Amino acid sequence: MEQIKQKQINRENLLNQGVALLMQQGYHGTGLKEILDAVQIPKGSFYNYFGSKENFAAEVIIHYITPYLTQLRNYLAESEGNALAALERYLQEAIAELEHTEFKGGCLLGNLSGEVCETSDVCRIALQTALNRYRDVWEMGLGRAQSEGTIRTDKTARELADLWVNAWQGALLRMKIEQSTAPLTQCYQELLGDFFKAR
């Protein structure tokens, strides 16, 4: 039992370190030895957990998005009939956190999309899965806001959620280029504060 627990801890440590290193250095800039040295796990154990660096990166992608999904779901669960306020709270906190970290990293999904989508189907599918899961939570939140009368209903929640994810990912890339959260704030204000609003 203790051995299983230690394996789970090692695996979690590897994934956490993977998020940090892939965010800072990208997939091709991060070596396997660097990951293993950071968590002090032998190479053989790594291959037992993940099989390959490519599979590891795919699992890191899913590991990375999961806390964001949980946080947004929790905010929506606590919103008590005001889903729009929950979505706004989530975005305000995300923007504040990116300002606090001085725009470091941005979004791992966006960072890796340009780097690995054309060379790794395994990673591309993981990125697609992560973005779809993110979109689905937004669809749920926007759907609730539609039923509460705060979000327009001439477009489906799915259409609005897809538009949101597309715009937000682009805004995150511009944030990194401009070293400013202005693109994020504009995206938030123009879409959630205007275009999405019920008239």
DSSP string, 67-102: HHHHHHHHHHHTSSS-HHHHHHHHHHHHHHHHHHTT
Mean pLDDT computed over every residue of the chain: 93
175 within domain boundaries: yes
User: Is 31 within the bounds of a domain?
Assistant: no
Q: What is the pLDDT of residue 57?
A: 96
Confidence of residue 193 (pLDDT cuts 50, 70, 90): very high
Tell me, yes or no, whether 37 lies in a domain.
no
The pLDDT tens digits of the residues spanning 137-172 come to 999 999 999 999 999 999 999 999 999 999 999 999
Asked if residue 126 belongs to a domain, the reply is yes
Q: Please tell me the pTM assigned to this model.
A: 0.91
How many domains are there within the chain? Answer: 1
Give the span between the Cα atoms of 12 and 18, in whole angstroms: 10
pLDDT above 90 for 3: no
Instruction: Provide the pLDDT for residue 22.
Output: 94
Which pLDDT belongs to residue 9? 85
Q: What is the spatial distance between Cα 161 and Cα 144, in angstroms, rounded to a whole number?
A: 12
pLDDT band at 53 (very low <50, low <70, confident <90, very high): very high
- Taking each helix axis as running N to C, give the angle between helix 121-147 and helix 108-116, from 0 to 180 degrees, rounded to the nearest 10: 140
Q: Which residues contact 27 (CB under 8 A, 6 or more apart)?
A: 57, 112, 115, 116, 123
State yes or no: pLDDT of 64 exceeds 80: yes
- The DSSP output letter for 30 is -
**The pLDDT of residue 127:** 97
Whether residue 28 is contained in a domain is answered as no
CATH number of the structural domain spanning residue 75: 1.10.357.10
At residue 103, does pLDDT exceed 80?
A: no
Task: Judge whether 157 lies within some domain.
Answer: yes
Question: What is the rounded CA–CA span in Å between residue 87 and residue 72?
Answer: 7
pLDDT, tens digit, for every residue of 111-142? Answer: 899 899 989 999 999 999 999 999 999 999 99
pLDDT of residue 197: 97
Q: Is residue 188 a part of any domain in this protein?
A: yes
Mean pLDDT of 78-85: 94
Q: DSSP per residue over 185-197, as a string?
A: HHHIIIIIIIITB
Question: What pLDDT is stored for residue 152 in this prediction?
Answer: 98
152 occurs within a structural domain: yes
User: Which domain does 65 fall in, by range?
Assistant: 54-195
Confidence at residue 1, expressed as pLDDT on a 0 to 100 scale: 63
More confident residue, 18 or 105: 18
**Average pLDDT of the residues in 184-190:** 97
